[in-house]
Structure 1
Amino acid sequence: MSAGLGEVVGSGLLAGYGVAVPVGAIGALIVSLAARHSWRVGAAAALGVATADGLYAVIAVLGGAALAGVIAPVSGALRWLAFAILMVLAGRTAWNAVRHRHESATPRPADGRRAYLTLLGLTLLNPVTVVYFGSLVLGRRADDGLPAGAEALWVAAAFAASASWQLFLAASGSLLGRVLTGARGRFWSAIVSSAVIAVLAVLLVVPGA
């Protein structure tokens, strides 16, 4: 039984890292928030992403891959909505950088709760996540006989993996923010971050990207 639980935990960890490690627009946002504000804000954003991943893991376990078929018809609309939100965030980041270019290098305080809710909502808009987890559930044998406790353990492992990676990104951003202490460094890091977010947003809606 312990070996079986070990396999469940390992599978959950792989699932969580599999969806979290590829750094896209969400990862860039976490790093940017931590670099421009604080570790607290970056960590709140990171936990927002991990919460969304955990919720989708729960939904996938409960509903299986059938959810992928439900999401598929509206996946295009969800991608465009995510694109619009990311472009607004990119534009706002660039605008704030230009507006405060000659101000003190001390970062303006940001609300950790707002960062958490924003990243939670943005991640929930990503149809790839639910399709990913749904496909993993489908890939397991329907008659594997895992009890509810083992399924909960799989979800917890997936959440822990996602959270650990997102927090790593936040820590990296926080360290980057300490290096870029000058006003010029903060300006150009915000501009680069804005450009990266915009490019990744465009890739969401470009066929074959």
Structure 2
Amino acid sequence: MSAALVAGLLAGYGIAMPVGAVAAYLVALTARTSLRIGACAALGVATADGLYAAIAVIGGSALTRVVEPVAPQLRWGAALVLLALAAHSAATAIARHRAPGTAARTDDAPPGPARAYLGLWGITMANPLTVIYFAALVLGSQTGAVADAPERTVFVLAAFAASTSWQLLLAGGGALLGRLLTGSRGRLLTALASSVVITSLAVRMLLVPP
């Protein structure tokens, strides 16, 4: 059981820690809203990771064969959503900086906890590499750490816990960044920088094959 726990933790951190477009967006979202909103968004990402870990444990190689043919389409969809979010974030920041007195009336309302959770969950679920990653780990451990049902359950829960802890750490960093850059110019530069990072990572998602 302890082997399954360690395997799940390593798997969860392995999929969560590489900095990608979703992580950059999570930090930027928290910086311009609040830690509460960022934490809900972080849980959305972690829930998707946990679901994909569970799906991989249940479906195994059969699910991988289903996902792989449509992986390019899913990757394009996720990248386009992230590009749209980056453009919207930059446009909103510029409009707020140019007319600070009317920002409260013209800006879109910030996402609530439920919207932040579902938005990040949906973007993460659109990433086919996550289920392929977990399926490869599970299939490679059929006779090892996750061989039977109880151990597979521990594996999934540990992967979810690891992803949750890392995503909440990112959200905390975003909240700290938002408090440090409270001025109009600081928030503008932060929003533009995050939009550039998200855009570059989304483009890389399309151009660099998995």
Distance in 2, Cα, partners of 1:143 & 1:206 = 36
Match of 1:127 in 2: 128
Match of 1:196 in 2: 197
- CA offset at residue 206 of structure 1? 0.2
The one-letter code matched in structure 1 to 2:4 is V
The SS at the match of 2:201 is: helix
Match of 1:206 in 2: 207
Match of 2:169 in 1: 168
Match of 2:49 in 1: 53
Match of 1:84 in 2: 80
Match of 1:103 in 2: 100
The SS at the match of 2:197 is: helix
The one-letter code matched in structure 2 to 1:87 is L
The TM-score, its normalising length taken from structure 2, stands at: 0.92
Aligned length: 205
The one-letter code matched in structure 2 to 1:97 is A
Instruction: Give % identity.
Output: 51
Q: Are the counterparts in 2 of residues 65 and 137 from structure 1 also a CA contact under 8 Å?
A: no
Distance in 2, Cα, partners of 1:145 & 1:50 = 20
Q: Are the counterparts in 1 of residues 87 and 195 from structure 2 also a CA contact under 8 Å?
A: yes
Structure 1 residue ranges, 4+ long, deviating more than 6 angstroms after superposition: 104-108
- CA offset at residue 207 of structure 1? 3.4
Distance in 1, Cα, partners of 2:48 & 2:145 = 26
The SS at the match of 1:64 is: helix
Distance in 2, Cα, partners of 1:171 & 1:196 = 19
* CA RMSD between the two structures: 1.9
The TM-score, its normalising length taken from structure 1, stands at: 0.92
More deviation, 99-108/79-88: 99-108
Distance in 2, Cα, partners of 1:184 & 1:130 = 40
109 and 89 in structure 1: CA distance in 2 versus 1, 3 angstrom threshold: closer
46 and 143 in structure 1: CA distance in 2 versus 1, 3 angstrom threshold: closer
Corresponding residue to 1:6 among 2, 14, 29: 2
93 and 206 in structure 1: CA distance in 2 versus 1, 3 angstrom threshold: same
Q: Are the counterparts in 2 of residues 83 and 201 from structure 1 also a CA contact under 8 Å?
A: yes
Match of 1:177 in 2: 178
- CA offset at residue 192 of structure 1? 0.6
- CA offset at residue 144 of structure 1? 7.0
